[in-house]
Amino acid sequence: MKVVVELNVSAGDYLAHYQGIARTVVTTDIHGKSVRFPSEILRPFVSHNGIRGTFEITFDANNKFKNIRKL
């Protein structure tokens, strides 16, 4: 299964991941469906401004994370 999400996460909000406060991200995909995934998968996309962009996330048949790519 693939989902596409648009993210606009400030650097301060993502800091909660590093502090161990946040382990998952809950958002909606472009079709309005709720999506939950581990916050650590966003690590390669963190900049000084946080995380901004549209991402395609792929899950396996058991809903386990497989891949993420920035569109």
The residues spanned by each domain of the chain are 2-70
What is the model's pTM?
Answer: 0.85
Comparing 69 with 17, which gets the higher pLDDT? 69
Name, in order, each residue with C-beta under 8 angstroms of 55's C-beta and a sequence gap of 6 or more.
4, 5, 6, 7, 45, 68, 69, 70, 71
Task: Note the pLDDT of residue 20.
Answer: 67
* Mean pLDDT of all residues in 6-22: 79
Task: Note the pLDDT of residue 15.
Answer: 74
- At 26-67, the pLDDT tens digits run 999 999 999 999 988 998 998 888 899 999 999 999 989 999
Task: Note the pLDDT of residue 45.
Answer: 92
CA 66 to chain centre: 12
